[in-house]
Structure 1
Amino acid sequence: MDMILMDDKGCKIQSTVRKTLIYRFQSLLTEGRVYKISFFGVGESGRDFRPTNHPFKINFDIQTSARLLPNKAINLTPYSFVPLGDIVYKDLDTSFLIDVIGILTGARGEQEFKKDGTKQKRITIELDQDEYISCSLPI
């Protein structure tokens, strides 16, 4: 299970909970709440297709503790929207995910394609926000 965590300054970092530990954290953590997280590992985030631009990620393990801080709040938006025109016309760093917002103007059904000799599926969507973009998403 992957999550994006954000601090009170808006810095975002990927966090990972191994499949065998999901039962321990799934009902403990709620989106929009503030927690004190202790006893975790830190590793490199990887190079391509990272959820954030942070070079590291937090790895939850059996010793990790997450304690709710009930009277704390982070009043920042977790999104950093990028205009569609910037995606089309600017040289963006595509090694991490970006946030977009727009009006969904079309979608094509599931399509099969081959990548590296393996069959994969995708859908294609069209977004409009003063600019028009069509993109394919793996499913």
Structure 2
Amino acid sequence: MSTKHNFISNVSPRKQSWTLVVKVVRAWFGQDYKNKKLPFSMELGDQIGASIRRTLIYKFKNQLQEGMVFTISSFNVASNSDLYRPSRKEYKLNFTINTKVKLSITVLVPTNVYSFTPAPDVFNEFYDNNYLVDVIGVMIGVGVEREYERDEYVEELNSFLSSGESQNAVVAIMLTKVKLFQGKPALQNAFSSTRITFNPEIGETKELRKSFLSANTNSPASGLIQLPNSSCISVHEEFLLLTPRTTIEELKNTDPPFNHSQLIADVVELKA
């Protein structure tokens, strides 16, 4: 007899005997700033969030590989109230020592796993920046490189630009956060969760490039423009004056307490 699977949209604390089929889209290790040799936790997110505490990472990290589909069961359900949430669901999953993860072979999980938020919804001052977001767009220019302590995306961008295929390039940014910079909404990487890909092999890439070219049929083809350095505020001033602040007491009152470093993976709901 086949196992009965539940829909992610139905998950709640009213019972614990849920069985879900999910696909791991995004996975990474984050840094624990107190102990840089070990990750703080392992997180799953997108259609629904999930958390695996440090002491259980060894049990699941080699199983939950990107691109694979799994059946998961025997987990706890808790309120989804982290500071930056990769899922908009009311609840999240907490893995336990008894949680079961089994590789699943099914054709019912959709191949199109991304859910890009339209740019007009993202770039407005009312967007709820407690949630991480996936966005996609055409790259038309490159700005002046600014030096930060962590510049993990600069090397990827420079490598792509050197490939010579940057004309009308589509850029997809997954699990990024929206923040106000100098009074305007902007995208910012969220710890180690954010991933940037150029010309991803997905249906949205073809459609976006087609619509972009159609809207610019009267304009001659041109390469990337050099964007001016419009910022007159230093990185130091930006951090001290413009970055939103949260008190330690407020962080302590979140449920569960806020985790600074994570390993996160996107999951997508089984479409029956």
* Normalised TM-score (structure 1): 0.67
Give the deviation of 1:96 after TM superposition: 1.0
What does residue 120 of structure 2 align with? 85
Q: Measure the CA separation in 2 of the matches of 1:135 and 1:20.
A: 33
1:40 and 2:75 correspond: yes
Matches within 5 A, 1:92-103: 92-102=127-137, 103=139
RMSD between superposed Cα atoms in Å:
3.2
Q: Which residue of 1 aligns with 2:45?
A: 4
Count residues with an aligned counterpart. Answer: 119
Q: Which residue of 1 aligns with 2:142?
A: 105
Q: Is contact 1:81-1:99 (8 Å) kept?
A: yes
Distance of 1:108 and 1:16 partners within structure 2: 34
Q: 1:28 to 1:136 in 2, by over 3 A?
A: closer
Question: Cα deviations across residues 94-113 of structure 1 (Å, max 9, x unaligned)?
Answer: 221111123373342216xx
User: Which residue, out of 67, 79, 83, partners 2:102?
Assistant: 67
Structure 2 distance, partners of 1:47, 1:19, is 17
Structure 2 alignment gaps of length 5 or more? 1-41, 155-169, 172-184, 192-272
Structure 2 residue 52 is the aligned partner of structure 1 residue 14:
no
Structure 1: unaligned runs, 5 residues or longer? 6-11, 112-120
Give % identity.
31
Distance in 1 (alpha carbons) for counterparts of 2:111 and 2:125? 26
> Which position in structure 2 is the counterpart of 1:55?
90
Look up the SS of the partner of 1:23 in the other structure.
helix
Q: Deviations over 1:21-54 (max 9, x none)?
A: 1111011122232222111111111064211101
Displacement of 1:83? 3.2
Q: What is the letter of the counterpart of residue 19 of structure 1? A: R
TM-score by length of 2: 0.37
More helix by share: 2
Compute the displacement of 1:82 (Å): 2.1
Of structures 1 and 2, the one with the larger relative CO (CA 8 A, separation 6+) is: 2
Summarize the Cα distance change of 1:72–1:97 in structure 2 as closer, same or farther, 3 Å threshold. Answer: same
